[in-house]
Amino acid sequence: MHPTWPDPDSPVADGPIVLIFTGGTISMVDDGSGPSPALGAAVLGSGVDRSVTATVAIDWGLVPGAHLTMQDLLSIAQLMQAAINDGATGIVVVQGTDTIEETSWAWELMRAWEVPVVVTGAMRNASETGFDGPQNLRDAVTCVRALAGRTSLPVLVSFAGWVHAARDVTKADALRLDSFVSLGEGPVGRIDEGSLMVLRDIPPATVLPSSVAASVEVVSLGIDTGLPTLEAAVSSKTPGIVLEAPGQGHTSPAVFRLGAAYLAAGGTLVVTSRCAAGPAIGAYGFVGGGRDWVQAGAIFAERLGTWKARTLTSLAIGAGLSSDRIHSAVAVPTHGTI
């Protein structure tokens, strides 16, 4: 039988849950010229039943998810830590859905949070029928309240009644309300009638403390494409490259020769699969196959997707980690502290 929280025997947290509003579709209304950010903490935060949970609503900004930068993520992380230092028992970050799979993972990597951190948003804006923002926000608060008092948790994403670990979650559809899924592993839980039902073990966080994000380029490969982009990244001496390759991580001989030279010159190169699910592994022996890349010093991301691999590589290089430590962080099949 799956456990359900809140557990009546668990310790009761006294501090408030802090809601940090950054914008996104959940904040948008349509005046006829297209949805744009307009609603802040005062309006959106009022949808949470404060008779059940004490909350504090904070406005960080009103920006679409696609406008967020790595520096913004560091700024929001500092705000989260300040709220925890002031006694918050949990954090809900409300943002645009376009980049949730990157932001949630970045916040997990940045530090070991002492309280539950949950990210949510909306697929429909406040002018649309079926506006999903208020329910998603209430579910995120339910998730935080249920896990209050637990530490070493991953950052979680609560959406459309499902709860996902940041490492696994991806936005699989541009329009559906249940856009967020965890390919392979499946969600860690679901929200049912005000309680969190845990569907599988909630893994510990993957921690890679960093306050500096290095430049890392993503190069996506296909038939007769990708080589000019890789050439530009190599010539600019970018410190890191994520190579999104077909299948389990296979490239043409020309791409391999250029990538191998980049690695020999001290660059960091991570290989991911462009497939929606399944690992990038160094198994094949033809020229440009996985074994060539492993021998050249590339890091295979295994089941970590391209954009999560890019986020991790950026923070890892910024923290000055060696290739061995980056590999141990990227290639962990489950979760662990690096």
pLDDT for 51 equals 60
Contact 154, 208 (CB under 8 A): no
pLDDT for 2 equals 44
Q: Reduced to 3 DSSP states, what percent helix, strand and coil does the chain have, rounded to the nearest 5? A: 30, 20, 45
> What domains are there in the chain, each with its CATH number?
4-198 (3.40.50.1170), 216-330 (3.40.50.40)
How far is the CA of 318 from the CAs of 237, 239, 326, in angstroms? 15, 10, 11
If the chain, 338 residues long, is cut into consecutive pieces of 10 residues, what is the mean pLDDT of each piece?
45 80 96 92 85 86 96 96 96 98 96 95 96 96 94 94 96 95 92 93 86 94 96 96 95 97 96 91 89 95 92 93 82 48
- The owner of tokens 């043409």 is 252
- Closest Cα partner for 47 from 120, 96, 99, 115? 120
Rounded to two decimals, the pTM is 0.91
State the chain's maximal CA–CA distance in angstroms. Answer: 64
pLDDT for 335 equals 43
pLDDT for 234 equals 96
Distance, in Å, from the CA atom of 261 to the CA atom of 240, rounded to the nearest integer, reads: 13
